[in-house]
Structure 1
Amino acid sequence: MVGCNDERAYLSEIISLDEELKLTGNYILFEKSIPVSTDSKIIDRARKLFEPVPLKDYSNGALLNLLDSKGYFSLSSDSQVNRKIKNAFGIILNLYIINEKVINLSIAVNFGTKILLWFGDYGKQIRKKSPFNPKVVYWGSPKKHEIYFLILMSLIGCDVLVLNTSLRDKFDNIDKYNEFSMIIKYPNELPIGAFPAQNTLEKVKIETAQPKSEKKKTEQSTQQNELDNSFLSDPAAVVKLKRTETILEEILVPLSKRSGYIGKPYPILPAYFVRYIGVPASSDDWEAEYYNSLYNLDRSLQMSGSYLKFMEGIVAPSAEESDMIPNRLIGYRFQNRFEIIEQILMAKILPQTHDELLDNTIRNTFVEIVNLFAEKSKNVNISIVLNFSLKIISWFNRYLPQLFPKGNLNNNAGIEAFNYEYNPKILFYGHIKAHEIFLLTAFHRLGCDVLFMHSDEDGDRPFQIFDEENTLTHLIRNKHNLPLDSFPKGERLIRKSTIAYSASKEIEEVIYSEEVGLFKPWQFENYVTQPITLKTTYDELKILWREPSKLRPEFKIQNKKVYVPNLFAKINGVSEELNAYWQDLKELSTAPNTRLMENVPFTKINYTKQELYHSNYLLDEQGLLDELKAVKSSHYKFGYLKAPLQHFLIMKINELFCSGLFLTSVDEKFKLKIIMTILTLDDEMLKLIEVFDYPQEIPKIIIYDNKKESFTENDSILLAYFNLIGLDILIFTPTNYRTIEHFIKPSLFDLYQLPQVKYDLVLPALNNIPTALSQKPGLLSRLFKLR
């Protein structure tokens, strides 16, 4: 029992009932809580029933089976009683696991322990020798775990009565379909004090000098009681909010096929009120799939029976509709909302269906919605409530005849005339206003399935204010957001993955993962690189030179970035055996994707000084290259490349600005030289980057410099850029002259010194150099002793 009517009469009845129940000798009274044992020994004993806990799938009856195996349900010599207790525990544990949104083994065991402690203290009532079955009264608003225990006591044969004078009732959250309890609800709320006794009645007197605010509350309560007795006492359909995560399919299931449905004589209707927000990632082409699902849902709902679709809000009442409201209601000076409701009900301007049960349900719904509006609206006054009430009346008269047409009535007149097996459907698509939410709520309380859809999470904000805790509606929040588009008028073209393709993609996700180390070609083309320039010996460099990136030390993939172990070295002088020097150079230069430069400087200047200085517009306010401006530049030559690679190349230019690779400061003039040098890059050099599949073979640049002419600043820019991308760079200088050291910090590359120095040593045709008799084994060969 929730709430109360007349306080004095109610308390008097409770006192009399308490006296009678005491005479049965089998009566428990819980006053505002169910005491739980604090004895540590008893608690430990209860917990040990769950030890050891071989429970992986605790949601599949494992907790119950564990208690049974410990002999917990052999409490009586009567096997039927024991079986009844076990079944009751099974129902409660299963109900708890179903209802809880977040649960783990620890939570489930703690709940089970508390139930065991309570049952140990109060379950023995069932074994009392008494002509009466046990009576349990709970005074107050029971908490969640207490509700489960009260249901348990009812299942094992106790009569259970909850006396909750407040309107804060949590039973609906647990016993969602009234399977285990029956609710009797009164309109008034009374603070939960001590359990009533005779002296309580003496304090309950009608004060003649009540404060105005208290007097007003009393008057309103009286008016509500009179309203309930006069208009709302007749039977009506009860609607329960049903939840689902697959609303697009479940909304088409008839009421009679849903769990919790009860038909004649007085229906209980499990109806959906779902906010479907965002767009699911249901397929590769999820955007088209979303709009196709909308289109097909709309067509299915059109064929399902009574159906209303709102795409551009709900049109406000017209002048003609407003004229149907009696003038006396508009000009009447109402004292409060109860008087507004009473006068509207007396005017009989709500739609009439000639079905008694449905008409009662419409009246009840109207009263509930007006009260809900008054409770949820801030700074509401009588005028606002009246205007809202009349708008709802106009909307009811406009839409209810469409939702509940007379053709849906059976031939038999009376309380069972309407066919409640199939309920009307409401689809609201797009932006919604506060008053429209209340109308959708009214539709739901009449038994309609209501679906609100918006492709962007911002569209749900009015509902978040209306139903912050999602108790009146069910929220489905999808992965993606899309700007709201018009409702689809046809199906879009879509590509769907075959079963084989989907299976292949799933297998690839497992096999070709960052952790496993197996990579398919170009798997990481949307990633970026981070060079890890290795410090090696000269012999080690020759071993690593032909090894792919993924087999070199320090390689890893992390946070959408491929860490590339690359080589950057300068070799001064030549070997004592000149032929061995040429053989090394030949072996290194014949590696795949290797470019050998025989002349220094090697960078072509493809821009003028004027073009260089005019390019300063490409820099943004932070002094970085603006990608959008660069793409539109007349010097931009990367437009034929894939978009991720174009973005990568520009990103690396900005990274080069801040890299600290250069000896000189990177001022604006130097930045412009970097930009123009890279944007006008020679095609053959650009191909080295194009072919770079980051975990695989690393492209390489070898420079042979045997003259006094040294590297230019443009050469150093390209070498620094290629190093930052992750390419291997090797410079042969038989003269020992300083070259790249003029521009790039020497600490950033290896310097190897061979024994002899040669001047004007001409590079021979490497094809004519004889191959070494025995090649040095590769890294894998050495690891696995293949040679």
Structure 2
Amino acid sequence: MVQLHPVRVRTWDPEKVGEWLNKPVANHTETKVEDEDITYPQLLGEFIGLPLDEDDYFASIYETMESAGGRLIRLSGKMNKHIEQDRLKALQDLFEMNRKENGLSASRIVAFLDGKGLLPRLKDAGLNRRLRVVMIDVLKSFQEQSGGSTVQSSFRRVATDLVKWTFNHIEPELIKLNLEKGLPGFLWYGDATESEKWFLKLASAFGFHVIVYDPTGEKWFGKMAGEENLHSHSFQVNAESPPPFPEEKPKRVGTVAYRATQEVDRLLHHDDSGLYKPFQFKSYVTHSIRLKTTIDEAFMLAKERAMVRPSFSVERGVVHIPVVFAKVMGIEKDRKRFWDNIHKLTEREDTKLVRSFPFIEERKGNQQFHYRAALDKNGRLDPEKMKKSNWWRYSKLPDGVQTAIGEAIARHVEKPILLPQNGESFEDLQLYAFSQSMTLPDPVIQLIQLFDYPQFVPTLLFYNEEKDGELSRADANAIALIHSFGLDNIIINPQGHQDIERWVDTESFDVHWLDERSFNEPFQEPSAVRKFLGRFL
């Protein structure tokens, strides 16, 4: 009685997946065999995005399948939907009984599937039992994610498809299973339906290797299989829609110089290299990490490139950007030192100085219809839905920048750092954050467009003299969204008054108290000499 114990493979080489799958299972260092218990490494891999050369991309997929020696089976576009009529009738009877019982548990449904001959009956009792246990776990997971009921039409549809594909795709591989070689792998390219995603979850939970090519960068397989179990490799760009998979292996027609350039890019300009081309991550999304700093560190780090700041990283299509978010109360006794720090920032082209408040107009009107239309099935804002809407204000921007802004808005609305006002409910707070995030000022949009994520981080510097208005809640929302995207924010109030604290949770930013309070401290422009020298420094 065979007992399979798949464990996550420790490391992988994205270019040698086929060769790895073709190795006998005993040749892997993680493999342990004790009687009929087999512990072996399982590869769950995800290729995110597309390289610049599509022909080379598809040719490499074909070469991976070829080098696997038949042990990497392409399923996408080839799912066999056939089901015997007697099995279909038995399934219909089972779901009718399920309806009359107001929903059986996943365990009882699998027991009935087994009793009615709706699951394969394998010669090995261990594999037989494992298939049923995994089916129960997968149906339980789907039941929990779909509202806790087994009588919904979606549950019936997915369960029916899982039965069909278990007979059509899993049983044939288990019948001819060679334990010296181990289980084969399934390859999936592009998008997948709900049923197909759950089938891949079933296959991976059983112990099959699964390799997914995800050209649009949606990373859906990680959400199904668990990102902690997944190895991933990211290419330069995310496609708006998956290019059709060629039925024949494309010919590589690149010149020698072109192929050499591609190879240099692969070796030198990968996510972890630290040697990045200009705007290499233009198709990635951003995620800010707030740095807790002293006042001196805040001004010092604001002048540093993102990639040399603590905790900068690039992984799975996301650039994690360490940022400064600081409120300065008062003014330094040493005025020269104080203004030198400020002028070193304002001299830069990627710093926007804001001195008049409010700096953004509050958006009126009820946006609830737009908000609900942009939610995904889990109740979270979907950047792709926002981008396709006629009310989306950022449609002129490059696609990757739009996605990054949409993802920042989704995070900002999901867990707002804004404070609720006057008994405002959490849902009302989310709706307010969504509504006000649709109209970032043009100078801020320009900073975002200029931002090459690993390089210098643009700074929003707010100097609030309280002379011509107050920092409004809409201003605070814009600052919070800018922070979520990954830009630096420094707010200075020379009088030591609260402004952003009225609207934003103070746990979200650092507060620095300086030596003095000044009630008449207009912004000091740099001297003509400093401006002249600044052009050459």
TM-score range, shorter chain: 0.5 to 0.7
SS state at 2:457 partner: coil
Note if 1:705 corresponds to 2:464.
yes
- Determine if contact 2:56/2:250 at 8 Å carries over to the other structure: no
SS state at 2:175 partner: coil
Q: Which whole-Å deviations, capped at 9, do the CAs of 1:222-253 have from their partners, x for residues lacking one?
A: xxxxxxxxxxxxxxxxxxxxxxxxxxxxxxxx
Q: Which whole-Å deviations, capped at 9, do the CAs of 1:515-548 have from their partners, x for residues lacking one?
A: 4322222223333333221222222222222110
Structure 2 counterpart of 1:728, from 488, 504, 508: 488
Aligned-pair identity in percent equals: 25
SS state at 1:554 partner: coil
SS state at 1:501 partner: helix
- Determine if contact 1:289/1:494 at 8 Å carries over to the other structure: yes
Note if 1:719 corresponds to 2:479.
yes
Q: Which residue of 2 aligns with 1:512?
A: 269
Residues 767, 459 of structure 1: CA spacing in aligned structure 2 closer, same or farther, 3 A cutoff?
Answer: farther
Note if 1:600 corresponds to 2:357.
yes
Query: Which amino acid in 1 is paired with 2:514?
Result: L
Note if 1:692 corresponds to 2:447.
no
Residues 508, 582 of structure 1: CA spacing in aligned structure 2 closer, same or farther, 3 A cutoff?
Answer: same
Per the TM alignment, residue 713 of structure 1 is displaced from its structure 2 partner at its CA by 1.1
For the residues of structure 1 that align with 2:432 and 2:28, how far apart are their CA atoms?
64
Q: Which residue of 2 aligns with 1:564?
A: 321
For the residues of structure 1 that align with 2:433 and 2:29, how far apart are their CA atoms?
61
SS state at 2:319 partner: strand
SS state at 1:525 partner: coil
Structure 1 counterpart of 2:510, from 747, 750, 753: 750
SS state at 1:766 partner: coil
Query: Which amino acid in 2 is paired with 1:653?
Result: I
Q: Which residue of 1 aligns with 2:168?
A: 461
Structure 1 counterpart of 2:254, from 497, 511, 515: 497
Query: Which amino acid in 2 is paired with 1:469?
Result: K
Q: Which residue of 2 aligns with 1:618?
A: 373
Q: Which residue of 1 aligns with 2:431?
A: 672
Note if 1:537 corresponds to 2:294.
yes
SS state at 1:565 partner: strand
Q: Which residue of 1 aligns with 2:407?
A: 651
Query: Which amino acid in 2 is paired with 1:588?
Result: L
SS state at 1:588 partner: helix
Residues 642, 104 of structure 1: CA spacing in aligned structure 2 closer, same or farther, 3 A cutoff?
Answer: same
- Determine if contact 2:380/2:414 at 8 Å carries over to the other structure: no
Per the TM alignment, residue 552 of structure 1 is displaced from its structure 2 partner at its CA by 1.5
Residues 637, 731 of structure 1: CA spacing in aligned structure 2 closer, same or farther, 3 A cutoff?
Answer: same
SS state at 2:489 partner: strand
Q: Which whole-Å deviations, capped at 9, do the CAs of 1:429-483 have from their partners, x for residues lacking one?
A: xxxxxxxxxxxxxxxxxxxxxxxxxxxxx79937963993179xx9997845489
- Map of 1:327-726 to 2, 5 A cutoff? 461=168, 465=172, 468-469=175-176, 479-481=187-189, 496-605=253-362, 607-609=363-365, 612=367, 615-620=370-375, 622-627=378-383, 629-664=385-420, 667-707=426-466, 709-726=469-486
Which structure is higher in RCO with an 8 Å CA cutoff and minimum separation 6?
2
For the residues of structure 2 that align with 1:466 and 1:534, how far apart are their CA atoms?
51
- Determine if contact 2:355/2:462 at 8 Å carries over to the other structure: yes
Query: Which amino acid in 2 is paired with 1:691?
Result: L
Q: Which whole-Å deviations, capped at 9, do the CAs of 1:733-779 have from their partners, x for residues lacking one?
A: 111111011111222222222222222432243354757999xx9xx
- Determine if contact 1:582/1:769 at 8 Å carries over to the other structure: no
For the residues of structure 2 that align with 1:750 and 1:291, how far apart are their CA atoms?
49
For the residues of structure 1 that align with 2:326 and 2:478, how far apart are their CA atoms?
15
Residues 745, 580 of structure 1: CA spacing in aligned structure 2 closer, same or farther, 3 A cutoff?
Answer: same
Per the TM alignment, residue 577 of structure 1 is displaced from its structure 2 partner at its CA by 4.1
Q: Which residue of 1 aligns with 2:104?
A: none
Per the TM alignment, residue 661 of structure 1 is displaced from its structure 2 partner at its CA by 1.8
Query: Which amino acid in 2 is paired with 1:649?
Result: I
Per the TM alignment, residue 681 of structure 1 is displaced from its structure 2 partner at its CA by 1.9
- Determine if contact 1:615/1:672 at 8 Å carries over to the other structure: no
For the residues of structure 2 that align with 1:639 and 1:494, how far apart are their CA atoms?
36
For the residues of structure 2 that align with 1:489 and 1:653, how far apart are their CA atoms?
36
Q: TM-score, normalised by structure 1?
A: 0.37
For the residues of structure 2 that align with 1:619 and 1:541, how far apart are their CA atoms?
36
For the residues of structure 2 that align with 1:584 and 1:769, how far apart are their CA atoms?
16
For the residues of structure 1 that align with 2:352 and 2:308, how far apart are their CA atoms?
22
For the residues of structure 2 that align with 1:562 and 1:476, how far apart are their CA atoms?
34
For the residues of structure 2 that align with 1:646 and 1:106, how far apart are their CA atoms?
44
For the residues of structure 2 that align with 1:622 and 1:650, how far apart are their CA atoms?
16
- Determine if contact 2:302/2:459 at 8 Å carries over to the other structure: no
Q: Which residue of 2 aligns with 1:354?
A: none
- Determine if contact 2:59/2:250 at 8 Å carries over to the other structure: no
Per the TM alignment, residue 587 of structure 1 is displaced from its structure 2 partner at its CA by 1.5
For the residues of structure 2 that align with 1:571 and 1:100, how far apart are their CA atoms?
61
Query: Which amino acid in 2 is paired with 1:518?
Result: L
For the residues of structure 2 that align with 1:659 and 1:285, how far apart are their CA atoms?
41
SS state at 1:707 partner: coil
Residues 770, 638 of structure 1: CA spacing in aligned structure 2 closer, same or farther, 3 A cutoff?
Answer: closer
For the residues of structure 2 that align with 1:515 and 1:727, how far apart are their CA atoms?
22
For the residues of structure 1 that align with 2:269 and 2:339, how far apart are their CA atoms?
41
The higher radius of gyration belongs to 1
- Determine if contact 2:368/2:431 at 8 Å carries over to the other structure: yes
Q: TM-score, normalised by structure 2?
A: 0.53
SS state at 1:285 partner: helix
Per the TM alignment, residue 104 of structure 1 is displaced from its structure 2 partner at its CA by 4.1
- Determine if contact 1:583/1:772 at 8 Å carries over to the other structure: no
- Structure 2: 5+ residue stretches without partners: 1-21, 31-50, 64-120, 122-164, 192-244
Residues 568, 614 of structure 1: CA spacing in aligned structure 2 closer, same or farther, 3 A cutoff?
Answer: same
SS state at 2:437 partner: helix
SS state at 1:684 partner: helix
Residues 476, 599 of structure 1: CA spacing in aligned structure 2 closer, same or farther, 3 A cutoff?
Answer: same
SS state at 1:676 partner: helix
